[in-house]
Amino acid sequence: MNTGTLCAYVPDGILVNAFEFHQNCALVVDPSGRIIDVCGVDELDPAIAQQSYAGQLFTAAPILAHAHLESFDAPRDKFSRDSFAQWVESLLEWRQSTERLSPEESAAESRRQLAENGCGLVATHVSEPGAEGDVSPDLPEVFAFSELFVPQGELPDLPDFPYRGVALHAPYSVSDELARQVFEKYATDNIVSIHLGEHDEERQFLENGTGELAELFLRRGLNIKDIYYASPIDWLDAVGGLTPSTLAVHCGNLRADELLRLENAGVSIVFCPGTHKYFDRPQPAFAKVGSLLPALGCDSLASNKRLDPLYELRCAKEIIPEISSQMWWQALTIRGAEVLRRPDLGSLAQGKWGRVLSFETSEFGSASSAEQVCDILCSKEGLSRKLITLNSTGD
């Protein structure tokens, strides 16, 4: 179908969102690629061109709200991970290798794997020049944050802002003054992403400057805190980051009361289930805060077995089965769009871009409801899938 014509796409099923599933329906897409209607096939205007996708089931393309694209060839299975500090040392040692892929090459391979596995949008922390890859129109779309690792000192010049967002690496790896400057300068109208509440070593570092992570910093001649904090949330509050502009990544080490503080302040959370599983961490407390639904991320191949939104979905359901399959699908789609402030994505409802993940209907058996479809998405491995941009020259 050529761009510029109104078109109705007719698959076997359309999962508009986690709670709305239609059969014998069509997605009507305008010349710009926006969905203008979801309606029964028998309701279509005969003048609208139809394109059959028999044997296919459509969902919205998944969104991963956190990643690092620069570690595609990292030997993760050889990294020490008895402690987070040991893993960091292994990662830093590998990064000094002259045989590793360049950040640009790694990002290109990471993006290719994400596209093959059906990711429509990925948000990435860029810690090395070129690690965002080629920001081109091809999917997945890349939302790039310039990541700051500045244990001492003030805010450096960020000439790319607001072309890309700003990320703080973590509470232990940026000075308090720098964190205050970032939140004061960028948090009013933009997103600030930060790794937060990931492990006990972070908590020990902030509480009293002890633990393996603090020892690693001292060995490398890096500053630890002049002021101690009772928790990562107290640190975030003290530097001005307890706001709706903050995107807190991981958070698996936070207690329910700490998560509730984030939720009440409007801070968004991104959970990376594959990385949580890689480190064999205890179950997060997300399900204990009824109103909380994290978005999902994939971190990097330095701490994950694959870059695949459906793998993250399955891991999330495995780690926290108390949250329903339907809510986890919301986390991978609508919630991801919300935390990245992309109201044009996340579902196949009217007004959204026609960015679709297409599956083979046969792999869903007799599923005829949104609940059944989401249960399969959250449990079945090896689902074949393909990214499609509706009403484009490539669909």
How do residues 250-303 score in pLDDT, each as one tens digit? 999 999 999 999 999 999 999 999 999 999 999 999 999 999 999 999 999 999
**Pairing outcome for strands 246-250 and 192-196:** parallel
User: To the nearest whole percent, how much of the chain has pLDDT over 90?
Assistant: 88
- The whole-angstrom separation of Cα 21 and Cα 329 is 13
Mean of the pLDDT values across residues 32-37?
96
Q: pLDDT tier at 395 (50, 70, 90 boundaries)?
A: low
DSSP 186-220: HTTTS-EEEEES--HHHHHHHHHS-SHHHHHHHHT
pLDDT of residue 154: 77
* Six token digits for residue 9: 């796409």
Mean of the pLDDT values across residues 362-369?
97
Residues 62 and 333: beta-carbon distance below 8 Å: yes
Lowest mean pLDDT among 60-64, 191-195, 388-392: 388-392
**Dihedral sign of CA atoms 129, 94, 76, 215 in order:** negative
Comparing C-alpha atoms, which of 261, 39, 249, 252 is closest to residue 123? 249
pLDDT of residue 62: 98
pLDDT of residue 158: 74
pLDDT of residue 28: 97
For 343-360, the pLDDT digits (tens) are 999 999 999 999 999 999
**Is the predicted pLDDT of residue 74 greater than 60, yes or no?**
yes
**Is the predicted pLDDT of residue 118 greater than 90, yes or no?**
yes
pLDDT of residue 304: 98
Q: pLDDT tier at 327 (50, 70, 90 boundaries)?
A: very high
**Is the predicted pLDDT of residue 162 greater than 60, yes or no?**
no
Residues 331 and 316: beta-carbon distance below 8 Å: yes
**Is the predicted pLDDT of residue 133 greater than 90, yes or no?**
no
For 223-244, the pLDDT digits (tens) are 899 999 999 999 999 999 999 9
Mean of per-residue pLDDT scores for the chain: 94
Q: pLDDT tier at 186 (50, 70, 90 boundaries)?
A: confident
pLDDT of residue 351: 97
**Is the predicted pLDDT of residue 2 greater than 60, yes or no?**
no
pLDDT of residue 3: 41
User: To the nearest whole percent, how much of the chain has pLDDT over 70?
Assistant: 96
- The whole-angstrom separation of Cα 274 and Cα 277 is 5
Query: Cα–Cα distances in Å, from 367 out to 13, 110, 311, 312, 361?
Result: 10, 32, 21, 22, 9
Q: Which residue has the higher pLDDT, 207 or 392?
A: 207
For 296-313, the pLDDT digits (tens) are 999 999 999 999 999 999
Mean of the pLDDT values across residues 135-150?
88
- When mean pLDDT is compared over 159-168, 178-187, 333-342, the highest value belongs to 333-342
**Is the predicted pLDDT of residue 4 greater than 70, yes or no?**
no
